[in-house]
Amino acid sequence: MKCIVIDDEPVARMGMEDLIMDSPGLTFLRAFNSTIGVEEYLKTHEVDIIFLDIEMPVRSGIEFAPLVPPETLLVFTTAYPHYAIESYELDAMDYLLKPISQERFNKTVSKAASYLALLKNDKYSIENTSDDHIIVRADKRFHKLFYNNITHIEALKDYVIIYTADEKRHITWMNLKNMYLKLPQDQFIRISRSHIVNNRFVTSFDNTTVWIKEIEITLGKSFRDDFFAKHSL
């Protein structure tokens, strides 16, 4: 996976370069000290992952994020934890808090590899919906996915990933908003710009996070009231 780093701090750039160079599945292409020139670079170079700092002069990482091409994964890197929720609202694949450990970085790399593999596979399309299931088509077959077996749904660029209780994943061309409209509203709830969860699989939650067993999903600010209304104590 080909990577670039954007960070205005020299020490932070060097640290990211070291993490990338120590990861066999990654190829380091270039480091930038600001977002200036990055757009032009992306037009002529294939980049799989951008590791992007948030607080930078001229233009912040938050401001630059919407300009990232749909085929490129975005990972925010910052020393400030309060940006976490906002970063996921911008379709970032992950959020790394400095100083970044090799173990935490490895988890991000594994996640990125999984996402890119999904994007390169045959895509599904939703053919029909029913009272208790949706039907998706792939590999010249129709697959019936029961709502009671769908744990959560995640936005991935122009697609959504449907996760099931038997640990399978199905990717389909559809934005999260339209996907949500196809689901039974009494069973599913949208908790951020990038996640829908099945209420029956929610095991715990707090003011900022929803858990489905060991899976942590950020609870977006604008979706919080609706979530708590459906999970009132």
**Model confidence pLDDT, tens digit, residues 154-204:** 988 778 889 999 988 888 888 888 889 889 989 999 998 889 999 999 999
How far from the centroid of its chain's Cα atoms is residue 26's Cα? 19
56 lies in the same domain as 91: yes
Residues 98-150: tens digit of each pLDDT: 899 999 999 999 989 988 887 776 666 777 788 899 988 766 778 889 999 99
Residue 37 · residue 30 · CB < 8 Å: no
Residue whose C-alpha is closest to residue 200's, from 176, 216, 184, 177 = 184
- The pTM score is 0.72
Residues 72 and 165 in one domain: no
Answer yes or no: do 139 and 91 share one domain: no
Domain count, the chain: 2
Phi-psi region of 35 (alpha: psi -120 to 50; beta: other; left: phi over 0): alpha
- Last residue in a domain, options 120, 138, 161: 120
CATH of the domain at 204: 2.40.50.1020
